Chains A and B, each alone.
Chain A
Amino acid sequence: MAVGVVTRASPMPYDRTITEASLIEPMAMMMARWRALSFTGVLNFEGWTIPHGEISPGIWGEGYDDRRHPHTLFHEMILSLTGGVAPGVRASLSAGKGFAPYGTDDPMNRPALLYPVNHHWSQVMERAVLIGGVQSGRVTLEGGLFNGDEPVGPFSWPVIRGRFGDSWSARALVRAARGVEVQVSHASVKSPEYRYPPAGPTHDKWSASARYERPTATGHAYAMVEWARNSELSGTYVYYTALVDAELLRNRQRPYLRLERTDRPEEDRLLDPFRSQRPSLENSILGISRWWIATAGYGYRLRATGIRLEPLAEVSLAHVVMVTPGTVFTPQQHFGGDNILTLSLAIRIGAGMPMHRMGRYGVLADQGEPMAMGANRMGE
């Protein structure tokens, strides 16, 4: 699959209007199963198509600001062994490169085109992971070990020696009712932004969410609400996020909405205002900004022979305020204003198998849930 998109955002740093065309999320997916073994693989080619990132006001992480970083070539490569261990109890062991058992779905699995600001608060991904899972009835428990370092480029690999196992996470997920799942998770991520040695602060993370997804007579309905907290340096810096996602697929029409309130660290920029220093030289920041963003979009699904197409339009309005007024960073100085409008026109193209829910391995991927019902996965 891939998405061709033209995005216009204003104001961007230095009071500029930026209009940019890019090919995002070019990916190839593979799933295979043999007896108790299963394999999930996702190749992501953004390292070639958006090496400088995708314009996206508010997004940050991996040394990018207001541009979403490209994901790594091997986005997900997980081998799982799953089986029953007692009557009504199943267990799994998963290993490879992928998502730690923490937080909510990859934004690529969700309705909106542009990523939410909270991507680095609500997912921990592209790590070398070892995950154990147990499922009984409606409850699934997972625990994982992984390397804390985040990727430093689209072709980087996790640091195994000296870093694997320095971070951990655990998630409890309950299928509260048909189509409803609730999760609470915690992660301790050591020095994600200082690769080796792990000299940076540990991120202490909490996430809670409730997700609803049900088929309807003409498509499906989806909604998700999440909350997350990220604390660094024992509470010196604390960031919160709250987000609501929803979409309704009715025949070919797919309107969707996202509301978000997310805090982000403002970090030392390089001469390029879309890039920040990695690794950091010190523990200082330019302050904490809070992003209130409303995003609405509309997609219309088409189907040609063997190809799925979805033209879509998305509009996003962000209002930025400082949680820490008085620092050297103000949205008025940096952007030229505190209201940022983003418009995107895109066409999503898919063929072959639909996109699976990424980050769900072993017992969590194997509970008979529909594999293709994700909001953005065009699997219908």
Chain B
Amino acid sequence: MTPRAAVATSAATLLALAACGGGHATTSPPPPDTVALVASVPIPANYGIHDQFVRDGLDFVCAWNTGLLIYDVGNGVAGGSPEHPVLVSSLVTSTDGVQGGAQVHNAWWFWNPVTNEKRYLFIGQEGPASIGLSSQGDIHVVDVSDLSHPVEVAFYHMAPVNGQTAGTHNFWVDEAHQILYAAYYNGGVIALDISGTLSGDLASREIARIRPGGDGNTYVWGVMLAGGSLYATDMVSGFWQLKLVDSAFTVLGGGNNVPERFGSDQWVAGSYAYSGTWGGVARNGVPGNALKIWSLGPGGAPTLVDSIVTHDIGTVSDVEVTADDQVLMFGAEGGAGNGVYFYSLAADPSHPSLLAWYGVPTGIHTATFATIAGRRYVFAAKDPPSPAMLVLDVTGLAP
């Protein structure tokens, strides 16, 4: 089918679609009573909170130059719960000479099924960038075997690519195979061997890298491993299906398929994928207010089947689907409709239906689901000027 939003080439067209009841063109509905704010934890306004990784009742809060903050949100190590997060420890990672400070942006707590260790936390440093051209920031490895005393033990630094510095963004870890995949903006995507003991410079651990869009057409936001493929969203060149074969990446599908907008985050659920768009600047006059819906073919190749366009937002900042593939969530920034959006995938994952919107006027940078003590929560990062970790109880949100 012809994707509705894919034919839209201007803001005026999008408005026209909305006026005509164009399917998934939406405006913000009122907040529901099935999304309950249960905690709001202020984070120092040192550029605030960017991302969180929640696992086993621990929330690894990435708080920019305040560093990494580890909260007990139900683990029990410090008596915390989702309603009463308790700070366990913190760490400001090294700057590695990158201007702007530690700039702790994202994290992944690696549970190694081979060694049964839960020792390493990978942190992404998001340094200064000229978006589309260059970026800065390293991967930092922190030993969290003693949660109360995290220690930085290793790093990975990418050398300049075509004369431009390159820095990391979002991660995905193939834990079974002990491989970390990292989006690297203009550096593309890398695969790192994270088996065994990690120490010092991990340059020799690099397995492979790829710049899927090629020169001048690569600026990768995020990666996700699903069904044996590595999916990558590139801000410039769209949604890609990649695969690591032996020691090299191969392009299996996708690419150059979101020409009217810049790309942002992604999530793959079952035989569908969902990718956001970014509106730090409109592309050809079109803001980043669309969520793209992809059908994954038998081999996993993405085909665009629909889009959700939300008119009063500027950017779809983060995308995630619950582990049961029933609820789609995305964060929004840049407009009056800022906040968190929830869609049901139960009836038709190719045409999600709006469940709820939780408005946050200053914007939500990222949001992630977590199930703790049988209840489903969202841990959201509220943007400055009063940044906070927001904990939403969404257990009652029925798909």
Contact = CB atoms under 8 A, between A and B. Distances in A.
Interface of A: 13-15, 194-197, 199, 201, 233-234, 236-237, 266, 268-271, 273, 277, 279-288, 324-329, 333-334, 336
B45 A199 contact: yes
A219 to B, nearest CB: 45
> Chain B at the A interface: mostly helix, strand, loop or mixed?
loop
B47 A194 contact: yes
Interface string B128-148: 111111010000000000000
B313 to A, nearest CB: 7
Contact of B312 (A268, A271, A324): A271
Q: How large is the interface on B (under 10, 10 to 19, 20 to 34, 35 or more residues)?
A: 35 or more
B200 interface: no
A269 B280 contact: yes
A285 B365 contact: no
B45 A334 contact: no
Contacts of A273: 281-282
B47 A199 contact: yes
Contact of B281 (A195, A201, A269, A283): A269
B174 to A, nearest CB: 28
A199 B279 CA distance: 24
Given A281-B50, A283-B100, A326-B216, A271 B314 contact: yes
Contacts of A15: 285
A286 B130 contact: yes
Nearest to B129: A284
- Scoring B129, B130, B384 by chain A CB atoms within 10 A of each residue's CB, the highest score goes to B130
A270 B282 CA distance: 9
B166 to A, nearest CB: 13
Interface string B54-95: 000000000011000000000000000000000000000000
Contacts of A269: 279-282, 314, 334
Contacts of B385: 195, 279
B284 interface: yes
Given A280-B47, A327-B130, A328-B280, 17 more contacts: A14-B10, A194-B47, A236-B128, A270-B314, A271-B289, A271-B313, A271-B314, A271-B335, A271-B336, A281-B383, A282-B103, A287-B130, A288-B130, A324-B133, A328-B132, A328-B262, A333-B283
B103 A283 contact: yes
A234 B65 CA distance: 17
Contacts of A197: 44-46
Contacts of B11: 14
Interface string B379-391: 0000111000000
A78 B127 CA distance: 40
- Nearest first, the 8 closest Cβ-Cβ pairs linking A and B are A271-B335, A268-B280, A328-B132, A271-B314, A284-B129, A233-B99, A14-B285, A283-B128
Contacts of A277: 334
Interface in B96-148: 99-100, 103, 105, 126-133, 135
A281 B48 contact: yes
A328 B287 contact: no
A233 B95 CA distance: 13
21 contacts: A13-B282, A14-B11, A14-B285, A194-B45, A233-B128, A269-B282, A270-B314, A270-B334, A271-B336, A273-B282, A277-B334, A279-B47, A282-B103, A283-B99, A283-B100, A283-B127, A283-B129, A285-B129, A286-B132, A326-B132, A328-B283
B27 to A, nearest CB: 12
Contacts of B47: 194, 199, 279-282
